[in-house]
């Protein structure tokens, strides 16, 4: 899913992460960056674009994300310009994770990125909820 979103929407980085207990951090379950699968990593919610995202259905920073979040390593390390994310919610409506897309170029038409992100977000939320419940994931 991370690879699909990065390729389909033209982002350099895509990650799907689980919200850690207490909503203090995110544990990436899938990371696709610069055309390659990468190891997952944990990061704090505070000071990241996801901090704003968790209070909304989705968040879009079409340009200037590196200036807004200069201390957030994935944004800083990529010299990012754009960010797009969606909150993954369980069947109860509670946030359980996020999808974050980071790009090195401004996002020219953010309204075109929203629908595929929301569709993949529904599937990712279902898969993440299954993993959290201990059920085997389906293909």
pLDDT digits (tens, 9 = 90+) for 125-136: 999 999 988 855
CATH number at residue 125: 3.30.450.40
The token pair at 38 is 């990468």
Residue 137 lies in a domain: no
Characterize 108-121 residue by residue with b for buried, 16 or more Cβ atoms within 10 angstroms of its Cβ, and e for exposed: eebeebbeebeebb
Which ranges in 48-109 belong to alpha helices (H)?
A: 49-53, 65-68, 73-78
Domain of residue 41: give its range: 2-132
Residue 71 lies in a domain: yes
The model's pTM is: 0.90
Asked if residue 115 has pLDDT above 90, the reply is no
Residue 36 lies in a domain: yes
Domain count, the chain: 1
pLDDT of 135 reads 58
Residue 139 lies in a domain: no
Q: DSSP character for 136?
A: P
pLDDT digits (tens, 9 = 90+) for 23-57: 899 999 999 999 999 998 999 999 899 888 887 88
Q: Give yes or no for a contact between 50 and 56, defined as CB atoms under 8 angstroms apart.
A: no
Residues 6+ apart with CB under 8 A from 20: 26, 27, 42
The token pair at 139 is 């293909």
Residue 52 lies in a domain: yes
Asked if residue 138 has pLDDT above 60, the reply is no
Residue 28 lies in a domain: yes
Bridge partners of 60, per DSSP, are 84
Residue 19 lies in a domain: yes
The token pair at 94 is 């509670």
């Amino acid at each position: 899913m991370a690879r699909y979103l990065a390729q389909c929407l033209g982002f350099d980085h895509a990650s799907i992460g689980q919200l850690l207990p207490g909503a203090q951090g995110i544990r990436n379950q899938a990371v696709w960056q610069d055309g390659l699968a990468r190891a997952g990593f944990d990061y704090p919610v505070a000071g990241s674009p996801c901090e704003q995202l968790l209070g909304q259905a989705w968040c879009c920073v079409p340009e200037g994300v590196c200036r807004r979040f200069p201390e957030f390593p994935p944004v800083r390390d990529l010299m990012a310009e754009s960010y797009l994310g969606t909150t993954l919610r369980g069947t109860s409506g509670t946030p359980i994770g996020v999808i974050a897309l980071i790009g090195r170029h401004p996002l020219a038409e953010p309204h075109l990125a929203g629908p595929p992100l929301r569709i993949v977000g529904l599937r990712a939320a279902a898969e993440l909820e299954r993993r959290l419940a201990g059920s085997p994931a389906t293909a």
